[in-house]
Structure 1
Amino acid sequence: MATTTGTAAPQLAGSPLLGSLPDLKKDSLGTFLRARHEHGDVVKLTAGPPGIRATFYGVFSAEGAQQVLAGESANFRKDNAFYQEIRESFGNGLLTSQDEDYLRQRRLVQPLFTKRRVDGYAAAVAAEVTTLIGEWRDGGDGTVDVHHEMTRFALRAVARILFGTDVDAAVEIVERSFPELGAYVLSRGYAPLKVPRDWPTPGNRKAAAVHRALYEVCDRIIAERRASGRASAEGDDLLTLLVGAESAEDGSFDATELREQVLVFLLAGHETTATSLAFALHLLGRHPEALKRAHEEVDRVLAGRTPGAADLDALPYVTQVLKETMRLFPAAPAIGRRAVAATVIDGVAIPAGADVIVSSWVTHRHPAYWEDPERFDPERFTPEAEAARPRYAWFPFGGGPRACIGQHFSMLESVIALAMILQKYGFETVDTEVPVGSAITLTTEGPARCRLVPRTA
């Protein structure tokens, strides 16, 4: 544990009555950027009226992020208000669980995410990309909102891998429900005073109805799979493996735990990939020289065939495009923790019990690590360039012992999908700027339209 002697944190100015709450609700990511620009790498922020005002510390350096997520991870827990709201909305799965619950879940789930197992999902990803491309072709090509299209694709892909052939039953309900639950979590997380969830307010009743719909579809599919005692028609999907996950030390998942793991996999497994793919297409549409280079690599390496897991290493520029996209548009732009004991980050004292936010959105734009940080440049992610930067200058999948268990799957899905789309299409950006915000994950607050340009063989 670091020494507890440090300087007092500089504080971002806010309104006398509400502190920085209005700015955070309007544009939390812009507020964090302003805090670092005006005050440095550790900044104190307040939100809410006196007496019930929340205080937290923004941590924006790569070294600070590494300390919170990895070096002193045991001192920084998922105990803040936002994680509690996510826990109550999506259950106590891998994303939100802690201590022995988390360790037990991780041990049971880890065998499902080995490289060999994940590589086996490449065919299911490719099948969903083929369906998407067919829909674009049959729709007359034209202009599409790439965020909407990639969200639906990624949701179908993760549902197919989770449920096998039982995709359609889940997709429609999840597609409608997750944005509503995300908005509900966000509003409650920022609220200085929270109305109990069981009070019959319009917001609570709507959220309860969404919960029931999500739980019912998950419970039905899980019950059918357990009753059948067999895998889906496509083989060992993740649900089959989760149902069968068992060890002498940890036992197995009961019905409630299975549902909570499924919901977390659906949430984390589609929104992150959708964000990366949507903005990759949008950025390539704005940067024709990068698009041309990506097309040339895909054509040279694949020569028209469908990519598989073995092709990932042979597509370095496509991978660099995705990594640079995840730098500019990280799906998890802010990660919260709560300090158990007092510590010091970058020379600034953090008291015991303090809420801390590390923000990849800010760190990924930090001028100490990134020259001209708003510029799209996939060359930032050559092996030589990556080796020259601090480890936590780029952390789109979190880090430390709580790093995303599905990061290899996300990269596999993203590279295969982007390569297959580039085999058939070029892109011209229609909406040159896409406003974004932060709920549970990064969200778009306007259309991200691109014009599809079919490629001739």
Structure 2
Amino acid sequence: MAVETSAGSVVPGLEGVPLLGSLLDLTSDSLGTYQRARERHGDVVRITAGPPGLRAELYCVFSAEGAQQVLATESANFRKDNVFYQEIRDSFGNGLLTSQDADYLRQRRLVQPLFTRRRVDGYAGAVAAETEAAVAAWAGAPDGIVDVHDEMTHLALRAVTRILFGTDADATVDVVDRCFPVITQYVLRRGYSPVKAPRSWPTPGNRRAAAALEELYAVCDRIVSERRGVAPGGGGEDLLTLLAEARSADDGAFDAAELRDQVLIFLLAGHETTATSLAFALHLLGRHPEEQARAREEVVRVLGDRTPEAADLDRLPYLTQVLKEAMRLYPAAPAIGRKSVAATEIAGYAVPAGADVILAPWVTHRHPRYWPDPERFDPGRFTPEAEAGRPRYAWFPFGGGPRACIGQHFSMLESVIALAMMLRAYEFEAVDAEVPVSAGITLETRGPARCRIRRVTG
């Protein structure tokens, strides 16, 4: 089946069952469903999901050129208006990830000075300190085995809360660690459900999510209130203080509710994404000892025994290639949604106004047109020469266009520093050959990602 539109070719449709379409496939394995859609029907595929009368139609775009059109060249025609973004707004607020139009432009102007390369480079010391503490704690790992996904989630959360809150980091880590999984799963369930009970109804799921949100909001509001009570210039250098002091003649300043929204979005986007990249980089190196040895040799040669600094990013090219290849195979944002404003064509196919459009880095990053032997781990794909030979959006783990992730330099800084310190201290051997994953708000593991670690000697 396919939908007729006024211009362009008919979009091929993925086969589904008569009553529910591909709803069950999407809820059980959306990434595999997108991959099958591309393999069977090409770079633009329509997937229907849900019962008649409540059916959603997803226009999936898998090519690099299509991704560039949606995110960059025609970005004004594709908005963050789908059901998942609305659920994230309702839980985590209208921060930089979810806001649009004048709200987004104002927020971006206020926040941008805090994410310059020079400012972000100043966070290198905090990342190194948290990594050093994590590495030291592994000395007591039972049987010398650690779950690198759990460990990287904790490390990334510690780092981002320290950078956001400074001395108040300890007060927030436990709350975020406890509340975020409840809230993100709630958002995901509601996003996929054809019928949603109002959030105000006292269902068990609503009550659990409301309690988690209340606890999370309370700790953020307390710290925000303290920061806003400090005279300008009299606070610390943590990111929340700088956000509280951010102001301009045209855009004013953030009020307390806006500050909380920004903090929650930074917590959401700033720890789960980096944790995913680090965890899979370690796990992949644990499965490929030759690449691990090469990365370690570069780290030892460049750093010796000293603590890495921001300037070392450019001195560790192979380690950076390892991270980029890990982000290719396991992009932290495996699927990206938009809604079209006006009818358009993508790769010659008609996409109607109001269509839900899905980009899938998970699929594009495995597209054989851009990636020979796409499932193979090969950091050599990211030499400068190799990158120059591919379309810009063959690899887009940070999105792209005017809504590209504002924190991508921070993510790379944190990842390179942490990975360098961990490889210098330990050898990693993967215990679990494969780690099953699924698409949540970010990429989620569905099983352990264990590595056996041994102290590096000599």
Give me the whole-angstrom Cα distance separating, in 2, the residues matched to 1:35 and 1:331.
21
Q: What is aligned with 2:156?
A: 154
For 1:298, the equivalent position in structure 2 comes to: 299
- Measured in 2, the distance between the counterparts of 1:422 and 1:198 equals 49
Whole-angstrom distance in 2 between the partners of 1:320 and 1:311 = 14
Q: Which one of 32, 35, 42 corresponds to residue 34 of structure 2?
A: 32
TM-score w.r.t. the length of structure 2 is 0.97
Per-residue CA deviations over 1:85-138 (Å, capped at 9, x if unaligned) read: 011010000000000000000000000000000000000000000110111124
Where do 1:95-114 residues align within 5 Å?
Answer: 95-114=97-116
Report what 2:352 is aligned to.
351
Q: Does 1:176 align with 2:178?
A: yes
How much does 1:232 deviate?
Answer: 9.5
Paired with 2:120 and 2:45, the residues of 1 have a C-alpha distance of 40
Distance in 1 (alpha carbons) for counterparts of 2:261 and 2:162: 18
Q: Deviations over 1:124-173 (max 9, x none)?
A: 00000011011112446710000000000000000000000111111101
Check conservation: 2:232, 2:245, Cα contact below 8 A: no
Structure 2: which 5+ residue stretches go unaligned?
A: none
Residue 76 of structure 1: how far off its partner (Å): 0.1
Q: Tell me the percent identity.
A: 73
CA distance in 2, matches of 1:212, 1:146: 30
Aligned residue type for 2:66: G
Which residue is 1:261 aligned to?
Answer: 262
Counterpart amino acid of residue 378 in structure 2: D
Matched, 1:442 2:422: no
Aligned partners of 1:163 and 1:232 also within 8 Å: no
1:93 corresponds to: 95
Conserved? CA contact 1:338–1:353, under 8 Å: yes
| Residue identity matched to 1:349 | A
RMSD across aligned positions (CA)? 1.3
Aligned counterparts of 1:226 and 1:85: Cα–Cα separation in 2: 28
Aligned length in residues = 454
Q: 2: distance between equivalents of 1:315 and 1:140?
A: 32
TM superposition shift of 1:229? 3.8
Q: Distance in 1 between matches of 2:303 and 2:105?
A: 41
What is the CA-CA distance between 1:230 and the residue it aligns to?
Answer: 7.4
- Unpaired segments of 5 or more residues in structure 1? none
Would the aligned equivalents of 1:232 and 1:240 in 2 still touch at CA under 8 Å?
no
Instruction: Determine the C-alpha separation between the residues in 2 that align with 1:127 and 1:247.
Output: 34
**Aligned residue among 184, 187, 197 for 1:195:** 197
Counterpart amino acid of 1:372? Answer: D
Secondary structure at the counterpart of residue 105 of structure 1: helix
Note the C-alpha offset of 1:13.
0.5
What's the offset of the Cα at 1:40? 0.2
Is the CA contact 1:89–1:211 (under 8 Å) kept in the aligned structure 2? yes
Tell me if structure 2 keeps the 8 A contact 1:21–1:47. yes
Give the 3 Å change call, closer, same or farther, for CA 231–178 of structure 1 in structure 2.
Answer: farther
Q: Name the residue aligned to 2:309.
A: 308
Per the TM alignment, residue 453 of structure 1 is displaced from its structure 2 partner at its CA by 1.3
**Is the CA contact 1:231–1:240 (under 8 Å) kept in the aligned structure 2?**
no
Q: 1:227, CA displacement in angstroms?
A: 2.4
Pairing 1:42-191 to 2, within 5 Å after superposition: 42-139=44-141, 142-191=144-193
Say yes or no: does 1:271 pair with 2:267: no
Q: CA deviation at 1:56?
A: 1.2
1:4 Cα deviation from its structure 2 partner: 6.6
SS at match of 1:96: coil
CA contact (8 A) 1:341 1:351 kept: yes
Name the residue aligned to 2:330.
329
Tell me, in whole angstroms, the C-alpha distance in 2 between the residues paired with 1:165 and 1:378. 38
